[in-house]
Structure 1
Amino acid sequence: MISRRTILGSIGSMALGGSFGGCAAAAQALDGSDDFVSRYDVDRSITNFDAAYYGAMTRGVMAAYRANGDWVNRNNALFLRSALPGPTRDERLQRSVEAVAGLIGAEVGEVALCGGGTEALYGLIVNYRPLEPGDAIIMADIDYDEMQHAMAYLEASRGATLVRIVIPEPSTAANILAAYEKALSDTPRARLLLLTHISNRNGLILPVREIAAMAKARGVDVILDSAQAVGQIPVDVDALGVDFMGFSLHKWVAAPLGTGGIYIRQGRQQDIAPWLGNHIHPDTDIRARMPTGTVDFAARLTIPDAIAEYREIGPDRKLQRLLAHRNRWVEGAREIRGVEIVQPEEPGRYAAIGAFRLPGQKSWEDAQRVQRVFIDKHRILVVAKRGLASGPVVRVTPALFNTAEELDRLVTAIHAERGMFG
């Protein structure tokens, strides 16, 4: 059994709350890029800067997924009903659970597989038991849309008071901590706080450990959305001090689509009700907190292969590559008059995800127009995002498979469209 304190290769050497390396280290990460690029078989007719949506599988993981799909199809119900000699269906899946638990520093019984971060977080938020009518729940503008919907559902269905806060810009650690300190101090009946580890809107990395400690001191539970964090930066549930977390594996771990995990710390499972009264598994089993319908078992069987390649690449090396990509386009775009980089600059507050606004870009319609023009005219995929209090942005999320030439093409396109709005 993999324990919470298993050392996960080089990931343990990286500070969870601090800088992820200097510019020199990041610049060096672009060296040997063929080693990264050759791992992928992706369509390059459009340059893809949307890794925050789906981190494509490598050739090796894709081959494992195909092989697992063939095996599941060949054995069909014999596998599903555990009629084959040898390990049962659940025993085969346990290898994936152990790999995921090791990835985040959890005990095996604290983790269950699911369809992704959104599914896991819905299960945690809407089934959070300790909430009483009149209790307050807190969320921020950087939180993911669907998780905001889940928090609003608690307000509508459970009589909670929903408190919305705005993360200040510039988003320094001091400013962020002050915003959460004020929200918690001003909300004496606060019971639940939704935290987003890395915002899908602008890539802001919250100082989770400090905020979680601040909340715990006031008796407030934290549900952590780590959908964009697991596989992009080091994630260790003990170091973070959180009891509840949902995350994806098909983004930065690059497992097959529709894979993710839910984490509930030992001793806290009864604070999350079973999914819609699910009694397929006992109430003491974390799997009762997730849907139990028929899933893509081949995808789940492939999770250990994806985690093994993630470790083989090296978490530190991977992150430095992503930071080098981010720095290359951000530094180029910053030189273009009027372009706004909507991303924190404090070390440790960002990784791969970033965002920009063109001069004069203000509305959601403007951001959507930028996305369309970049695809149609420049054959580059960037993504319009709304939700930040400061206004809509255009998100850029490089992947490991992107090249320096593609990043330079992005900067050229931003320069070409700087006058789009007059």
Structure 2
Amino acid sequence: MRPDIAELFELDPALTHLNHGAFGAVPRVVREAQDRARARIEGAPMRAFRDELPDAIAAAREQAAAFVEVPTDSAALVRNVSEAVAVVLESLSIGLGDDVVVSNHGYPTVSLAVQARGGSTREARFGLGASTAEIVAAFTEALTPDTRLVVIDQITSGTALVLPVREVAAAVAPVPVLVDAAHVPGALPVDVEALGVAFWAGNLHKWAFAPRSSAVLWVEAQRRGGVRPLVTSWSHGSPYPASFDLQGTVDHSAWLAIPEAVAFWHDLGGWRNVERNADVLQRGARHVATALGTVGEPSGIPSPPCMTLVPLPDGAAATPDGAEALWQQLHAAGFLAPPGSFEGRGYVRLAAQAYNDDDDYARLAETLVSLVGRA
């Protein structure tokens, strides 16, 4: 790890952190900003909730909207993308007899949220080597007369791919599209309004350095009047997105630290830091794949700048149980790098953030070879 950057975070120095995409890492100055926000609230709770929080949350929401480059009146603050998914499903009254199309690369809790409401999901299935045309066809072929919503990941979590959102949205119209953009803010430049989708939700706690429980839900103009928070509280009756601001006596401090997180992202280099991380990740992934003997295996869909998959030798982590066993072995060896299985093949998903350097991946490669051998 880079000592000069690592000291800006509070990560355990005994571990090599190669999984920033999972839960992010809150910088020290952002955690301190959140602590100050909590202290201000606890110093005078009644004044905070009655008089100060409405303006402070609105200011944080404006900063979040500006960060993802959407109009202030189009983006609400939510706790995470899972909450945003639930909000969208409720706004569409998804229930018994309704279909929602997801993909075999999608985040599993989306399907759980649909099923919890009595709906059913249909999978658009495609492999790692699929073309844009094949991905679009997979989504369109999954549609039925009962399809009420299509959910597509802009950056897939388990397989670290960038999917063609705009092309899929155009192909499935007029069915509304929800973009699970959990990994996008701070990692991938995007023109949300140009995607042609109805809903877009992204976490700020992964690549934008905000505390956990910070996310943005964007809604196209004609649907905002029907979108409401899951909890009816003091913001009830306010227009979207202010209707999401005050939901009782929850801890709003994560939202109040968003301005400091955005400032940290810019101070660290902004998109220049993203490019630097992408270079480190590409070199590191090539080094690991070469050491394992799996370099050159095909993947037709591009990876994002922040994460990528490296194939493991045949048989290694090829099942969920095998992936879990390898995860525990890697952790015991001091590495946080998640193995996973996809269609009977094992992979390790690597990420890069400013605190990582080439040596992190070189040491991981040596450890992986000792654990799973070479292809």
TM superposition score normalised by structure 1:
0.79
Aligned match of 1:308: 263
Distance 2:296 2:26 in 1: 29
Structure 1 residues 322 and 121 mapped into 2: Cα distance closer, same or farther (>3 Å)?
Answer: farther
Aligned match of 2:180: 225
| Contact 2:153–2:180 under 8 Å retained in 1 | yes
Match of 1:417 among 355, 371, 375: 371
Aligned match of 1:374: 330
Q: Are 2:166 and 1:206 aligned?
A: no
Distance 2:239 2:81 in 1: 22
Distance 1:327 1:298 in 2: 36
Read off the aligned partner of 1:100 and give its amino acid letter.
A
Aligned match of 1:239: 194
Read off the aligned partner of 1:354 and give its amino acid letter.
T
Read off the aligned partner of 1:108 and give its amino acid letter.
T
| Contact 1:129–1:273 under 8 Å retained in 2 | no
Read off the aligned partner of 2:172 and give its amino acid letter.
A
Please list every run of 5 or more consecutive structure 2 residues that lacks an aligned counterpart in the other structure. none
Cα displacement (A) at 1:409: 0.9
After superposing the two structures, state which structure 1 stretch, 278-287 or 307-316, moved more: 278-287
Q: Are 2:55 and 1:91 aligned?
A: yes
Read off the aligned partner of 1:74 and give its amino acid letter.
G
| Contact 2:154–2:165 under 8 Å retained in 1 | yes
Structure 1 residues 315 and 188 mapped into 2: Cα distance closer, same or farther (>3 Å)?
Answer: farther
Cα displacement (A) at 1:103: 1.6
Aligned match of 1:64: 33
TM superposition score normalised by structure 2:
0.88
Match of 1:142 among 105, 114, 132: 105
Distance 2:197 2:29 in 1: 33
| Contact 1:272–1:289 under 8 Å retained in 2 | no
Match of 1:173 among 132, 136, 150: 132
Cα displacement (A) at 1:341: 8.5
Cα displacement (A) at 1:253: 0.5
SS at match of 2:23: coil
The share of aligned pairs that are identical, in percent, is 23
SS at match of 1:417: helix
Please list every run of 5 or more consecutive structure 1 residues that lacks an aligned counterpart in the other structure. 1-29, 83-87
Which residues in structure 2 correspond to 1:253-268 (within 5 Å)? 253-268=208-223
Aligned match of 1:317: 272
RMSD: 2.9
Q: Are 2:77 and 1:113 aligned?
A: yes
Q: Are 2:23 and 1:54 aligned?
A: yes
Distance 2:126 2:313 in 1: 22
Structure 1 residues 236 and 36 mapped into 2: Cα distance closer, same or farther (>3 Å)?
Answer: farther
Cα displacement (A) at 1:390: 4.4
Match of 2:42 among 49, 55, 73: 73
Q: CA deviation digits over 1:138-165, x for unaligned, max 9?
A: 11111111112112234x2xxx453112
Cα displacement (A) at 1:342: 8.4
Distance 1:287 1:98 in 2: 11
Distance 2:39 2:244 in 1: 29
Cα displacement (A) at 1:281: 1.2
Aligned match of 2:153: 196
SS at match of 2:179: strand
SS at match of 1:223: strand
| Contact 1:97–1:113 under 8 Å retained in 2 | yes
SS at match of 2:323: helix
Cα displacement (A) at 1:277: 6.0
Q: Are 2:115 and 1:152 aligned?
A: yes
Distance 2:184 2:125 in 1: 21
